[in-house]
Chain A
Amino acid sequence: MWPLTRHRDRRRFFGAGVWTPADLGASLALWLDADDASTITLNGSTVSQWADKSGNSRNFSQATASAQPTYSATVLGGKPALTFDGTADFMSAGDTLDVGTTSLTIMTVVKYATNNQSGIIVGKSLLGAGAGRYSLGRFLSGGSFGTGSPFNSFLVAWDASAGNLFTTVADSSTSTKIIGGEWSRAVSNGYDKVWDNGTNTATLTYAGDTNTLNSTNELWIGAYQNVSGTTPPVASSYMNGQIAEVVIAPSALSTTDRQKLEGYLAWKWSGWI
């Protein structure tokens, strides 16, 4: 029975009863899955493209070989992940996935290699003010980038025209974890939340907003864009570690859907499915 469950298309065997992020339907904006080899284009041992499984074609690519992450076959729960070197690697999906008027949920499976270095997982980022930017990753205290600080944080940083909204929580783990950010812009119920292995570890509340938040910045994984929104990325923003899966929803997911997503990621990247 179990070998069948390891197949990337488990629905073929289990039917619609097996939940995957595809069941989020319209609430699925991006889905990167390192366990699905068909989505990964290799350039030798590095990855030149990581294709989006959401149906929205938000494929991430990196043409420069020296900036391509490495494909690591059996690193997290016996499954593959993309290893970002912390010095040069990142990928871009181009200018896509604007927030517009919606909220946002990002859920990822990552493993940082070090406990004292900032590094971005995913974000439509810009070093400096810019409506419509957002990102999830590890920052230093105060939201800066660098190394050597004794205090690291996961931070969901947003610009909702109301200013920067960011939520921090101390975190220096080098264990594999499900780390996520949830941004609700509902008027009178606005918040940023950090989710760490299914636990809400930090929350920032605000009034919410109805602004249309678009930007011309690119959507990246593995690094944060510089003040001009161009390459090279911010020097100390490179992810040093592994990214296994990234799911983005254009909404603050319901508790039920968020827990399904966490459950799916937990069972999958523990090697059970």
Chain B
Amino acid sequence: MSLVRNLPYTHPYRWDGTAFGGPRLWRPNDLGSALALWLDAEDTASITLNGSNVSQWSDKSGNAKHAVQATASLQPAFVSNGLNGRPSLNFDGVNDVMTGVSTQTGFFITVLIPGTNSFGAPLGFDTKHGLIRNGTTDNLYFSAASMFLSTSAQRNAVLSTVLGTTAAIFSQGGDASSVPITLGDDNAGGNPTACNIAEVILLSADPDNSTRQLLEGYLAWKWELEGSLPANHPYKNRAPTA
């Protein structure tokens, strides 16, 4: 897998090996209409830079739910080698925030690197948290102000209510609502937090386990986090194929 994922993002054979008798790798757009939002920092064509900062992170779902920030001082920085040599957006934990427009949201899954000792929400849904971090313990957790029920929280495909601090895949689902997403902050009174966000995917409804595992496998193999998947995960040893 490593040689395939090390090809440039726009290489014609980065995702599709059928020309050579191989498979096509599964990607979020294979979800069709269930895909509500897809932000992918590795696809630099989806990033609008303002100098070294990011003014727009374009939605790849086809729904045009772009995350934007017009004010330069509030824009996250683009980090070309943010996670395992691949790009991410760095939010400073002071005031950096990007905001989308309302989209039907029943599930989120994200790859991010939390900062240190910075209370706040790397991911927010209007006045609700997607994730909230304790500024002392550095643990990410879900609270009563979270978007979804904490019992559905996953970290690297493991059900979890107290989450670690290193780069990981976080996901949670529940009842669908139409709300705007915020990155690096939420609108619940200002909870900016230092973090690097690599990819964010929203689905319009809570998916079944197999679909969630597809997303986990896709993200894990893309961001070189497959070692963090549990041993019994269906995509522990191979990226999902279409």
Q: Which A residues form the contact surface with B (CB < 8 A)?
A: 5, 10, 13-14, 17-20, 77, 109, 175-178, 197-199, 259-260, 262-273
B190 interfacial contact with A, CB 8 Å: no
| Chain A CB within 10 A, most for which of B4, B11, B21, B22 | B21
B7 interfacial contact with A, CB 8 Å: yes
Are A197 and B7 in touch, CB under 8 angstroms?
Answer: yes
Given A197-B7, A198-B7, A259-B11: A270 and B1 interface contact (C-beta under 8 Å): yes
| Chain B CB within 10 A, most for which of A17, A259, A272 | A272
Are B12 and A263 in touch, CB under 8 angstroms?
Answer: yes
**CB-defined contacts of B13 to chain A, threshold 8 Å:** 259-260, 262-264, 266-267
**Considering the chains assembled together, what is the distance between the CA atoms of A259 and B20 in angstroms?**
12
Are A270 and B20 in touch, CB under 8 angstroms?
Answer: no
Pick 23 A–B contacts, CB within 8 A, sort by A.
A18-B19, A19-B20, A20-B20, A175-B2, A177-B3, A197-B6, A197-B8, A259-B11, A259-B12, A263-B7, A263-B11, A263-B13, A263-B17, A266-B7, A267-B4, A267-B20, A270-B1, A270-B2, A270-B3, A271-B1, A272-B4, A272-B17, A273-B21
**Considering the chains assembled together, what is the distance between the CA atoms of A19 and B13 in angstroms?**
12
Given A259-B11, A267-B13: A10 and B3 interface contact (C-beta under 8 Å): no
**Considering the chains assembled together, what is the distance between the CA atoms of A197 and B23 in angstroms?**
19
| B1 closest partner in A (C-beta) | A270
Interface residues of B in 1-33 (CB under 8 A from A): 1-4, 6-8, 11-13, 17, 19-23
**Considering the chains assembled together, what is the distance between the CA atoms of A18 and B13 in angstroms?**
13
Tally of contact residues, B, Cβ under 8 A? 16
**CB-defined contacts of B11 to chain A, threshold 8 Å:** 198, 259, 262-263
Residues 30-63 of chain B, each 1 if its beta carbon lies under 8 Å from chain A, else 0: 0000000000000000000000000000000000
**CB-defined contacts of A259 to chain B, threshold 8 Å:** 11-13
**CB-defined contacts of B22 to chain A, threshold 8 Å:** 5, 267, 272-273
Are A19 and B7 in touch, CB under 8 angstroms?
Answer: no
| Chain A CB within 10 A, most for which of B3, B6, B13, B22 | B3
| A18 closest partner in B (C-beta) | B21
**CB-defined contacts of A262 to chain B, threshold 8 Å:** 7, 11, 13
**CB-defined contacts of A198 to chain B, threshold 8 Å:** 6-8, 11
**Considering the chains assembled together, what is the distance between the CA atoms of A271 and B1 in angstroms?**
7
Are B3 and A14 in touch, CB under 8 angstroms?
Answer: no
A1 smallest CB distance to B (angstroms)? 9
**Considering the chains assembled together, what is the distance between the CA atoms of A177 and B6 in angstroms?**
9
**Considering the chains assembled together, what is the distance between the CA atoms of A273 and B6 in angstroms?**
17
Are B3 and A176 in touch, CB under 8 angstroms?
Answer: yes
A137 smallest CB distance to B (angstroms)? 19
**CB-defined contacts of B3 to chain A, threshold 8 Å:** 77, 109, 176-178, 197, 265-267, 269-270
A197 smallest CB distance to B (angstroms)? 4
B6 smallest CB distance to A (angstroms)? 4
**CB-defined contacts of A270 to chain B, threshold 8 Å:** 1-4
Are A268 and B8 in touch, CB under 8 angstroms?
Answer: no
